[in-house]
Every structure is written in structure tokens, then in C-alpha cells.
Amino acid sequence: MNILYYGIKGVNERDEDDLTCTELILLIGKNCHSITMTKSLIERYREHLDWLRQKPAPVLQSLSVLNQLVVNSQKAVWEQSEPPEIPVGINIPQKDRYLVRAALISQPLVVTCDNSLRHAINDYPQLNLRALHPTDALPLAKDT
């Protein structure tokens, strides 16, 4: 969700003007990438829609692209199964457990501005997940 939040606002995690997350969202829409969605992720996404619709034009463009991604079956990979529990002994921040559980289904690349979440994911190779900061993910998103 923080990629969505920062992308829509056009800032980075320090609230400085930065379009990295916005560009990442646009590249996912343009190139051969997809977003893995679960019921809990889409519910959180919808909670932000009203707030997001009040933002300036470049931000609204990324929101439009995001909306297209969510309804495009070639871009939004819907995971219907119940996410597995996080294995015992793995310390994931409570606020991020829903996200990591969702990622455990299809094991996508997790892109987040949250340092503690990135480290928590990358510190446990048994999760079979990899987490990147948006600036590190952007070159990958440029690949078609």
C-alpha cells in the first residue's frame, strides 16, 4: 500500500517530491508485469480511493492506471485461496502480516518503502520472498 500511497502523492517515504513510485505504477501498467491481488489487499486499496481522487493530474493518471490494472485480467493476478500463516519464529511487523501472508501464496517480488518490512522479509530466506525498495525495483519494471 505504501507504493500506492507514495505514488499517488508523488513523494518518497521522507515526504520529498519523488515520482519513483508513480513511475513504477505506470511501468507496471505499460510493460509485461502484473500485480498480485488478494481480498485483503483490494479492501485496503478501496479504502483510499476517495482520498486519492482529490489529488493533482499526474497523480490521477497513476490512479487511473492502477484502476485499469485491477480490472485487467492480464495485469491483476487474483489469488482466491486463503493466505497461509507466517511460519513460527519469523518476526514480521504486525501491521504488515496481511501483506506477507498474501505474498506467500504466489511469492511475487515485494516492493515497499518500509525499511522494517523489507528487512523482515529479506532476513528470512525460508519465506522464499524478496523485498526491494522502489528505486531498486524501477530498473526491473523497465524491462518488458
Query: What's the number of CA atoms in the CB half-sphere (13 Å) around residue 30?
Result: 14
C-alpha cell read off for 74: 492480464
pLDDT, tens only, 79-126: 777 889 999 999 999 989 988 998 898 888 899 999 999 999 999 999
105 vs 75, higher pLDDT: 105
Structural domain boundaries, residue 49: 2-142
Name the band, by pLDDT with cuts 50, 70 and 90, for residue 138.
Answer: very high
Cα–Cα distance list, 41 to 11, 18, 97, 124, 135 (Å):
22, 24, 12, 22, 22
Domain count of the chain?
1
CATH number, domain with residue 10: 3.40.50
Decide: 66 and 60 in contact? Cβ < 8 Å.
Answer: no
- Check residue 123 and give its pLDDT: 96
Q: For residue 76, name the pLDDT band (cuts at 50, 70, 90).
A: low
More confident residue, 9 or 35: 9
Q: What is the pTM of this model?
A: 0.74
Confidence tier at 62 by pLDDT (50, 70, 90):
low
Task: Give CA–CA dist 43/20, Å, rounded.
Answer: 24
In the prediction, which pLDDT does 65 show?
A: 60
Say what the pLDDT of residue 139 is.
92
Using one digit for the tens of pLDDT, what is the confidence trace for 21-52? 888 888 877 776 767 777 777 677 666 666 66
CA atoms within 13 A on the CB side of 115: 3
